[in-house]
Chains A and B, each alone.
Chain A
Amino acid sequence: MSENGVILKVRDLTKHFPIMRGVLIKRPVGYVRAVDGISFDVYEGETLGLVGESGSGKSTTGRVILQLYRPTSGTVEFEGRQLDELKGRDLQAMRPKMQMIFQDPYASLNPRMTVGDLIGEPLLIHTNMSHKERAWRVGELLKTVGLNPVFAQRYPHEFSGGQRQRIGVARALAVNPDFIICDEPISALDVSVQAQVVNLLEDLQDKLGLTYLFIAHDLSMVRHIANRVAVMYLGKLMELADQEEIYTSPLHPYTQALLSAVPIPDPKVEMTRKRIILEGDVPSPVNPPSGCVFHNRCPLAVEVCKNVVPEWKQVSRGHWVHCHLV
């Protein structure tokens, strides 16, 4: 492993998608700045929550880390290897170590494959297991995620949303990964089933020592599951701190507004809460505002915010903020 238990090191990571125009000769007329220079570490065995509104670039971040999209610039170092420089077989060899659980359990499972084939596929690609060994391992995995091993013969449409997400978890676990990116794993599920999946993820982490990057827009659930939380807005990190600290004393005006907007299921608390209502919508990442990207919606913005990009600075141990006023 690497120094101080850092399993993943992301530095100045950028992903710009070109917007192509033209009939015969296509040329880029602009770029979607989906991820625009972010840096953070993930420690072994922890859960880092990555939160933000839709279009903030959280899913793209996850995919660039796994090299499903190649970064435009910046580096991703995982277990001491620089992933953005790896290609072909070398990259393939790293894949079993890092897996992903997807948001939509309806779209992410091939409807024509049996559950056994779906979970066994990573084993077929990454190991030399025989057919028999694979079948045994699939049974084990189904038991691990709380499903009956006989389900291996069935097809995805026979399962409910929560059960499908368990299948997705089993598939990610098949190759014994160290690190799993959970990309909104519960947002498509019913409330009563969300808790089942979250409890399962927590149990697996305890049992197998997994490290999670938990991408979500549900800030309450992230508070529950994460050790540290990073807040993203328009491709940039706004704030990163320990779970307790970011929820009790957020420093960035965006974090403060975001937290105040989340309803709390308790009418007595709701009656006395003060909301910071942000004006307008998230600007387009094609043409982000100058200076601090949040300045045009920020209730505290001053002149300097319009012109100068704030630094990503550490204000106290492990508490990072991207703001001029802190």
Chain B
Amino acid sequence: MADHLLEVNDLKTRFYTAEGVVHALNGVSFYLDEGETLGIVGESGCGKSVTMLSLLSLIPKPPGKVEKGEAWFAGKDLLKMNDQELRGVRGAQIGMIFQDPMTSLNPVMRIGDQITEPMIEHLGMNREQARERAIELLDMVGIPEADERVGDYPHQFSGGMRQRAMIAMALSCNPRILIADEPTTALDVTIQAQIVDVVRRLQEKLGMAVVWITHDLGVVAGIADRVNVMYAGYIVEEAQVTDLYADPQMPYTLGLLGSLPRLDGKHAKRLANIHGAPPDLFLEPEECPFSPRCDYVRDVCRDLNPGLRSVNGSHRVACWIDVKNNQLIDPEEAPVRE
């Protein structure tokens, strides 16, 4: 495939539940380059976590099912790999950290043993080497007295330290990609600042690419090179981070940025609000998924679901409206999503 480190095409994931079919991902395509940080933002239920879990075949099956799509990583399609091949990728070449470090650490296993496990499994280290490397890693992520703390259990660590331990574990096999799924959402802002700082420092040192999944547009502004905005299982806007904030094109992105108060006080007296609630994913999407909540909505938005079109180089948006002039675009310019 192309020169990207990871290239995902038309990923579709559904969950077949007793209440109906959840249309979690409806055709998601994106790429990730060597060493860059990609931010994926969106509200709960928009599919940002499911995207990454689908790639690594980590969604529970059943009820989940990846219906369609390909994900090229190092010349191979992740979605066509068998379990054994996948095990060689997960934790080794693609590391992952999750939102809640308490539920993703094993409470009855020492921190050190949890960090050494992937190194023994993937790198063929013996226990002694792995233990030494674990201490080195804990030290690198900023755990004080790492050589003593390596024997602790997770409950002896604070929330911030557990997330550091998770990072140490994810980085233990020198992955090429680190997927961070809301790693700071459960933490206080001062601890969040510590974790963001650690990840950024390690990325500079080790050169891995990072996918940072979050609902926090503030965190993304500080850490990402490029951003994908997701809504209802679609990518609705993608851009370089500076372009996205300076010149948002999708009414949803505009609304999100307008609804955020800013610490430096540069915002309107009254917060812009997006009326209504996020969409019902049980319904098969036919129209633009944002149209029921959109202030710019036109008839065409309720009939046809727009695909991504380029507005300015790599800045792409899925919308029938040119929001700056509040005009319909030429329908030939954008593809229609089936």
| Residue in A163, A191, A275 whose CB lies within 8 Å of B215 | A191
Report how far A163 CA is from B276 CA in the complex, Å: 10
Interfacial chain B residues near A262, Cβ < 8 Å: 189, 218, 263
Q: Which of A190, A192, A261 has the largest number of chain B CB atoms within 10 A?
A: A192
Interface of A, helix, strand, loop or mixed by DSSP:
helix
Is B245 located at the chain interface by the 8 A CB criterion?
yes
| Residue in B159, B221, B242, B271 whose CB lies within 8 Å of A265 | B221
Closest Cβ neighbor of B277 among chain A residues: A160
Report how far A305 CA is from B218 CA in the complex, Å: 34
Least Cβ–Cβ distance between B49 and chain A, in angstroms: 14
Least Cβ–Cβ distance between B274 and chain A, in angstroms: 4
Q: Count contacts on B: residues with CB < 8 A to the other chain.
A: 47
Closest Cβ neighbor of B222 among chain A residues: A270
The interface stretch among B12-20, B192-200, B327-335 is B192-200
Is B68 located at the chain interface by the 8 A CB criterion?
no
Q: Count contacts on A: residues with CB < 8 A to the other chain.
A: 45
Closest Cβ neighbor of B244 among chain A residues: A267
**Given that A199-B271, A278-B194, A281-B161 are known contacts, is A263 also in contact with B219, CB under 8 Å in the complex?**
yes
Closest Cβ neighbor of A270 among chain B residues: B222
Is B60 located at the chain interface by the 8 A CB criterion?
no
The interface stretch among B101-109, B127-135, B251-259 is B251-259
Is A266 located at the chain interface by the 8 A CB criterion?
yes
Chain A 252-269 per-residue mask, 1 if CB under 8 angstroms from chain B, else 0: 000001111111111111
Least Cβ–Cβ distance between A209 and chain B, in angstroms: 19
Interfacial chain A residues near B272, Cβ < 8 Å: 195
Interfacial chain B residues near A19, Cβ < 8 Å: none
Interfacial chain B residues near A275, Cβ < 8 Å: 193, 197
Partner-B contacts on A (CB < 8 A)? 53-54, 160, 162-163, 190-196, 198-199, 202, 217, 219-221, 223-225, 244, 247, 257-270, 273, 275, 277-278, 280-282
Given contact pairs A202-B270, A258-B189, a sample of 17 additional A-B residue pairs in the complex whose CB atoms are under 8 Å apart? A190-B43, A190-B215, A192-B255, A195-B260, A198-B271, A219-B189, A224-B267, A244-B265, A258-B190, A263-B216, A263-B219, A263-B222, A264-B218, A265-B245, A267-B242, A269-B221, A277-B190
